[in-house]
């Protein structure tokens, strides 16, 4: 039995979630339930591996060992039924860094890059900041369950899109894409010669029996067009280690991406990243198997409260990860009023839905990866701010 109930005091650890509250919300007097890391301790073996390194006390240059790559290959086979080869794999200091890097590698200035909104803000930034042109395939919101507008998707690809950044599972709308959806998107990308970046950072956190299917595992032709981004960071709560795993079966895509990593001299990664990744994939599975039902329990707990007491704030249970995409449009408050009530009355810090695209007007994103007692406190704060 792992402990997800203890409240861990993160103060003084330079955590964005806690220590940037004043900067973001204008106050420290607020329960932070925004940025996507968890308040749980990482698996004990991961903590122990970092501690052992501290006992050595020398933090020199480092490299990602072969053993970590072998562990990752086994992990992906076991958890996602995908056969991958060590030679497909490279690294990167995080997926947020990978996105603009890949945009630069696979497109030219002014090229069109497709994203499916509402979507994780760095998807937008990776395209804008590199001087490429954003093209949107807006997801269809069917009462909180989002689907893909394939006609629009194809029309956008036809219009000359060079790169598609897919979020799978999708943040913030919580979908685990089905094999059919992935096949349709992938086949269309193959048809129009569009490269796919498949950000699968949330893949290990599929919930309620949903099964994540890696995009590149769907077919060989899709695989040949896809660069996949995975990581131990969300799964084992080690995002601060800035470490991700980038892979593709295409020697051409891999060589191009690696050339850029090498040019920037960022391929060696960081010492704590390597140590914690190795321990996580070697020992972390039992912990993850207990984390998942804990997260589901948190979602169920809040869902019941909202359905019975705050029915005008709506959310669908996500199919993956620990983020709720909350729809406040039926509260009668404007987007700005919702934000202000959250911060000033409820004293809760959520992510602003509009950062995910204009479809996020009236929405906020809530992170439920906290001990149940903290969630209960959050529920009380929602009542204070929104109960009518
Ligand atoms: C879809 C998605 N990609 C990437 C990241 C972060 O990636 P990294 O920490 O590896 O930079 C997040 C974090 O919330 C995310 O939701």
Q: Check pLDDT > 90 for residue 281.
A: yes
Same domain, 203 and 273: yes
What local confidence, expressed as pLDDT, does residue 369 receive? 98
Q: Is residue 50 a part of any domain in this protein?
A: no
pLDDT higher than threshold 90 for residue 64 = yes
Ligand 1 binding pocket mutation candidate from 122, 169, 174, 350 (most atoms within 8 A of CB): 122
- Whether the pLDDT of residue 136 is over 90: the answer is yes
Q: Is the CB of 239 under 6 A from ligand 1?
A: yes
For 271-299, what is the mean pLDDT?
98
Task: Find the mean pLDDT for residues 367-380.
Answer: 98
Only one residue has tokens 């997260």, namely 295
35 Cα nearest atom in ligand 1: 14
pLDDT at 388 over 90: no
Residue 145 in domain: yes
Q: Using one digit for the tens of pLDDT, what is the confidence trace for 142-151? A: 999 999 999 9
Same-domain pairing of 204 and 216: yes
Which tens digit of pLDDT belongs to each residue from 190-200? Answer: 999 999 999 99
Determine if ligand 1 sits within 6 Å of the CB of residue 233. yes
Number of Cα atoms under 13 Å in the Cβ half of residue 290: 12
pLDDT of residue 174: 98
CA 240 to ligand 1 centroid distance, Å: 11
In degrees, rounded to 5, the angle at the alpha carbon of residue 356 between the alpha carbons of residues 354 and 361 is 30
Per-residue exposure over 292-328, b if at least 16 CB sit within 10 Å of its own CB, e if not: bebbbebbeebeebbeeebeebbbbebbbbbbbbbbb
pLDDT at 12: 87
Do the domain assignments include residue 10?
no
199 lines ligand 1 (CB under 6 A): yes
What is the residue-averaged pLDDT of the chain? 97
Question: Is residue 15 pLDDT above 90, yes or no?
Answer: yes
- What is the total count of domains within the chain? 2
Half-sphere exposure of 270 (CA within 13 A, CB side): 12
- What is the Cα 213 distance to its own chain's centre? 15
Q: Does 64 share its domain with 197?
A: yes
Query: Within 13 Å, how many C-alpha atoms sit on residue 243's CB side?
Result: 26
> Do residues 181 and 266 share a domain?
yes
- Residues 336 and 228 placed together within one structural domain of the fold: no
Within a domain: 271: yes
23 plus 95 within the same structural domain: no
Asked if residue 37 and residue 104 are part of one domain, the reply reads no
Q: What is the rounded distance in angstroms from the CA atom of residue 380 to the CA atom of residue 384?
A: 6
Q: Say if residue 314 is in the same domain as residue 378.
A: yes
* Mean pLDDT of the region 32-40: 97
> Could you tell me the pTM of the whole model?
0.98
Q: What is the CATH number of the domain that holds 159?
A: 3.40.640.10
Asked if residue 226 belongs to a domain, the reply is: yes
The last residue of one of the domains, among 231, 261, 283, is: 283
Burial of 125 per CB tally in 10 Å (0-12, 13-18, 19+)? middle
On whether both 211 and 358 belong to a single domain, the answer is no
The finding on whether 230 has its CB within 6 A of some atom of ligand 1 is no
Residues 6+ positions from 361 with CB-CB distance below 8 Å: 335, 353, 354
Per the DSSP assignment, residues forming a β-bridge with 133 are 112
Ligand 1 centroid – CA 200 distance (Å): 9
Residue 362 DSSP label: T
Same domain, 199 and 104: yes
Confirm whether 222 is domain-assigned: yes
| Ligand 1 pocket residue status of 200, Cβ below 6 Å | no
Which whole number is the average pLDDT over 72-89?
98
From the CB of 96, is ligand 1 less than 6 Å away? Answer: yes
Range list of β-strands (E), 311-362: 323-327, 348-349, 351-352
Within 10 angstroms of residue 345's Cβ, the number of other Cβ atoms is 12
Ligand 1 atom nearest residue 321's Cα? 16
In this prediction, residue 231 has a pLDDT band, given cuts at 50, 70 and 90, of very high
How many Å apart are CA 160 and CA 295, to the nearest integer?
41
Banded model confidence at residue 241, pLDDT cuts 50, 70, 90 = very high
Could you tell me if residue 304 is inside a domain?
Answer: yes
Q: Which residues contact 74 (CB under 8 A, 6 or more apart)?
A: 281
Range of the domain at 358: 16-43+285-386
Model confidence at 50, pLDDT cuts 50, 70, 90, reads very high
Percent share of the chain, pLDDT over 70: 100
Instruction: State phi, psi for 32 to the nearest 5 degrees.
Output: -85, 120
Residue 215, Cα to own-chain centre: how many angstroms? Answer: 15
Structure tokens at 139: 């997801």
Domain end, chosen from 250, 283, 316, is at 283
Q: Is the pLDDT of residue 11 over 90?
A: no
138-189 pLDDT tens trace:
999 999 999 999 999 999 999 999 999 999 999 999 999 999 999 999 999 9
Is residue 187 domain-shared with residue 296, that is, in the same domain?
no
168 lines ligand 1 (CB under 6 A): no
Q: Is residue 214 part of a domain?
A: yes
End position of a domain, from candidates 283, 314, 343 = 283
CATH number at residue 368: 3.90.1150.10
- The 10 Å Cβ neighbour count of residue 145 is 12
What sign has the CA pseudo-torsion 188, 89, 86, 209? negative
Q: pLDDT, tens digit, for every residue of 269-280? A: 999 999 999 999
Is the pLDDT score of 218 beyond 90?
A: yes
Q: Are 298 and 368 in contact (CB under 8 A)?
A: yes
């Amino acid at each position: 039995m792992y402990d997800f109930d203890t409240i861990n005091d993160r103060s003084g650890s330079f955590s964005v979630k806690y220590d940037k509250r004043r900067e973001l919300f204008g106050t420290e007097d607020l329960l932070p339930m925004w940025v996507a890391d968890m308040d749980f301790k990482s698996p004990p073996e991961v903590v122990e591996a970092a501690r052992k390194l501290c006992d050595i006390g020398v933090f020199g240059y480092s490299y990602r060992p072969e053993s970590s790559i072998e562990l990752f290959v086994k992990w992906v086979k076991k958890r996602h039924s995908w056969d991958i080869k060590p030679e497909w794999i490279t690294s990167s200091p995080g997926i947020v860094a990978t996105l603009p890097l890949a945009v630069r590698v696979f497109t030219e200035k002014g090229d069109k890059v497709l994203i499916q909104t509402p979507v994780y803000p760095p998807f937008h930034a990776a395209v804008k900041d590199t001087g490429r042109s954003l093209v949107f395939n807006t997801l269809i919101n069917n009462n909180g369950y989002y689907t893909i507008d394939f006609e629009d998707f194809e029309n956008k690809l036809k219009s000359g899109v060079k790169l598609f950044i897919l979020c799978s599972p999708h943040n913030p709308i919580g979908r685990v894409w089905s094999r059919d959806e992935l096949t349709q998107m992938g086949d269309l990308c193959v048809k129009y010669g569009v490269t796919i970046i498949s950000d699968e950072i949330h893949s290990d956190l599929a919930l309620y029996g949903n099964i994540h299917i890696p995009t590149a595992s769907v077919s060989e032709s899709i695989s040949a067009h896809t660069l996949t981004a995975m990581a131990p960071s969300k799964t084992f709560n080690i995002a601060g280690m800035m470490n991700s795993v980038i892979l593709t079966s295409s020697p051409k895509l891999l060589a191009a991406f690696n050339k850029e990593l090498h040019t920037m001299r960022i391929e060696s990664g960081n010492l704590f990243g390597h140590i914690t990744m190795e321990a996580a994939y070697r020992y972390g599975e039992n912990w993850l198997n207990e984390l998942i039902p804990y997260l589901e329990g948190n979602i169920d707990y809040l869902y019941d409260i909202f359905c019975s007491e705050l029915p005008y704030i709506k959310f669908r249970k996500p199919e993956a990860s620990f983020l709720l995409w909350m729809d406040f449009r039926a509260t009668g408050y404007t987007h700005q009023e919702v934000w202000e009530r959250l911060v000033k009355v409820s004293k809760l810090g959520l992510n602003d839905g509009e950062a995910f695209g204009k479809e996020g007007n009236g929405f906020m994103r809530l992170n439920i990866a906290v001990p149940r007692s903290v969630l209960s406190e959050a529920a009380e704060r929602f009542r204070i701010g929104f109960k009518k």
